[in-house]
């Protein structure tokens, strides 16, 4: 009885599938789409900002007088030249009204842009405001390995609401 039922099922299946052709298999392999350059650069900036800037690190910064700092391997005369205005900033960044996370990203992007454009000096204007950015930006700058020194800007570049930053771009001499 089983064999006749199997034969009936096979005959029914054969009748139902008569004239059907198998599909042709597509051999197209899907690759990942090329990444947008802007998105890649934004992720790189985010990575730099996250890896260099910590909110818990407290460098030794002056409490009184103008805000200034220099790495240990930097000559103190470089800070003096920065204060006098011997270095003119090639790039300016205004972070007025930004949140801390936005300011971190912009600061990382500014330093990367200075290195890319072979610019030794830049200026960041943080403003007076509530003082949060004015307090945090020097701490973040002191942590970055490419920042040689910074000093409170002269009046023409923003006074105590701005900082002039000296960037280490390698062995290139300073161009005036």
HSE-up (13 A, CA, CB side) for residue 109: 17
pLDDT for the residue numbered 22: 82
The CA distance from 133 to 137, in Å, is: 6
Tens of each residue's pLDDT in the chain, 176 residues: 567 777 888 888 888 888 888 888 777 777 777 778 888 887 877 776 667 777 777 888 888 888 999 999 999 898 899 989 899 999 999 999 899 888 988 998 899 899 889 999 999 999 888 889 999 999 999 999 999 999 999 999 988 899 999 999 876 555 54
Side by side, the strands of the sheet bearing 162-167 are 68-70, 147-152, 162-167, 121-125, 91-94
In degrees and rounded to multiples of 5, residue 86 shows phi and psi of -65, -30
CATH number among 3.30.1370.110, 3.40.47.10, 2.60.120.640, 3.40.50.2300, domain 68-167:
3.30.1370.110
Whole-model pTM: value is: 0.69
């Amino acid at each position: 009885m089983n064999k006749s039922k199997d034969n009936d099922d096979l005959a029914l299946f054969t009748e139902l599938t008569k004239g059907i052709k198998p599909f042709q298999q597509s051999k197209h392999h899907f690759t990942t789409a090329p990444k947008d350059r802007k998105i890649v650069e934004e992720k790189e900036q985010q990575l730099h900002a996250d890896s260099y800037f910590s909110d818990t690190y407290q460098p030794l910064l002056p409490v009184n007088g103008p805000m200034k700092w220099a790495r240990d391997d930097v000559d103190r005369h470089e800070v003096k030249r920065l204060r006098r205005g011997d270095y003119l900033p090639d790039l300016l960044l205004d972070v007025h009204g930004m949140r801390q996370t936005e300011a971190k990203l912009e600061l990382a992007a500014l330093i990367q842009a200075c290195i890319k454009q072979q610019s030794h000096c830049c200026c960041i204007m943080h403003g007076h405001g509530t003082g949060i950015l004015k307090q945090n930006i020097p701490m973040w700058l002191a942590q970055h390995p490419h920042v040689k020194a910074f000093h409170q800007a002269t009046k023409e570049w923003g006074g105590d609401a701005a900082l002039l930053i000296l960037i280490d771009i390698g062995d290139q001499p300073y161009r005036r």
